[in-house]
Structure formats: structure tokens, C-alpha cells
Amino acid sequence: MHCTGRPNFALIWLLITILTALPFRISADATSTKVLSYSATTTDGGKLAPGLEVVKRIYGECVATWSVSASIDASRCGNEAGTQVFDPCFPGVESMTVLCPQGGPWATKLVMLRLRTLLMVDYRDGQRRPWERNTYWALELDGGLRCTATPNATSVLNGMRMTYTCVKSSGMANLYGQPDASSALWRVWVDKPGSTALNRIAVLKAWR
């Protein structure tokens, strides 16, 4: 067999095409999705969690049975004028306060809402009405995408509603539908900028 020593560019191009067409990508060490619970305070609730900072303090009100987060502690809140919505918000260190992370569970800056009255509906009655069943308010995807829920989105692609917006240093993306949790490593549909095509990508972390 004669070997010229020259690379087979046709074969290389075929392999690249196959790899980029895979429905989703998985990190080498990713075997399952981690489901996490968010808290803005220490375990005993007496202090802010390490690394967090309250950058704004305002008065507001909350509805405890409605939130993008399925956590029993989460609430959908707003300022008194009704011009700003904060969702989700979690119990604060001080009495009659909630803490609202700005930019997902990765954010270090919080808005503190001081409540003049108790939550409009006590979450302890169990009558939660999350925006969709089995929802997660934030997802971290393979490749570095960080996504937060967008319950008011109306965009539909391939029969699925847009449910998350994602940010990465290289740009933005949107997710459609809810994560497929039928296997240990979840997957979700992500769009391609400037295209109507959807690809499946691995979900590494999910926050309730």
C-alpha cells in the first residue's frame, strides 16, 4: 500500500461535519445534571451567603404562590409603584424582607425588598401555582451558557415556546420547551442565532 503522507482533507471535513451535527454536546466529565437549591442567606438564615451584596433597598410586595422558581421559599415580587418585577425572591436576613438576585444564581448583587405587610398568600398552604410544572428558574448548559427563565415570552419555534434566555461571552441564545429529564443528564433545545434550527444541548446544573 502506497502512502503519500498527505492528510486526507475530505475525511477530516467529513468528521468535522458529523461532530458539529450531533444533537447535543457533553463535557467529558458530565454524567448527570445537578439539581440545586438557591439561598441568599447562610444555613441558619442569620447572614448573607458569602460573596453576596445588597446593592439596593426598596419597599415592595410579593405573591408567594407564583414564581418562576418551584422552590417553596420563592416569591414573585415588585416595587410599590408596580413598575418593577423581581422574580424569584427569597427570604431575607431581616424580618419582613426578601432578597432578589439580579441575573440568576450566579449573581453577587441583590435587591432587598422590605414588605409593609405579610406575603399576600402564605406559601405554607401548599397552593403553589408555578408558571409551568417542574420548572427551574436557571440552567447552566454545556459550553458555558447560563440561562434564566422568561415566563412572559411569547416566541414559538418548531411548536415550542421560548422558556429561557441565555448569555455567554460570545453572544446570546434562547431555549425552547422544558428540559428533558428522562435520563441522568438532561437535555434542552437551544436555538442558533439567525436560524430557525434547534439543537439539543446538555444541562449541567438546574436551580429550583
Return the SS3 of 11.
helix
Measured CA to CA in angstroms, residue 151 lies from 17, 49, 67, 194, 196 at distances of 35, 27, 9, 23, 21
Q: What is the reported pLDDT for 124?
A: 43
Pair 68, 152: CB distance under 8 Å: no
Q: How far apart are CA 91 and CA 96, in angstroms?
A: 8
122-156: pLDDT as tens digits: 444 444 444 444 579 999 999 889 999 988 888 99
What was the pLDDT predicted at 6? 54
pLDDT of residue 154: 82
Q: Within its chain, how far is the Cα of 130 from the centroid?
A: 15
Mean pLDDT of the chain: 80
* The three grid cell numbers given for residue 84, joined into one nine-digit string: 418593577
Confidence of residue 46 (pLDDT cuts 50, 70, 90): confident
What is the reported pLDDT for 67? 81
pLDDT above 50: residue 172: yes
CA distance 88 to 47: 19
- Most confident range (mean pLDDT) of 21-25, 41-45, 47-51, 192-196 is 47-51
The pLDDT of residue 148: 95
Residues recorded for the chain: 208
Q: Please answer whether residues 174 and 4 qualify as being in contact, where contact means their C-beta atoms are separated by less than 8 angstroms.
A: no
Rg (CA), the chain: 21
- CA-closest candidate to residue 128, choices 42, 41, 36, 208: 208
Cell of 61: 410586595
What was the pLDDT predicted at 17?
Answer: 34
Query: For residue 49, is pLDDT > 60?
Result: yes
Q: How many beta carbons lie within 10 A of that of residue 162, not counting itself?
A: 17
pTM of the complete model:
0.78
Which position has the grid cell 408558571?
131
Check residue 16 and give its pLDDT. 34
What span, in angstroms and rounded, lies between the C-alpha atoms of 72 and 75? 8
84-107 pLDDT, tens digit each: 999 999 999 998 999 999 999 999
- Measured in degrees and rounded to the nearest 5, phi and psi for residue 173 equal -155, 170
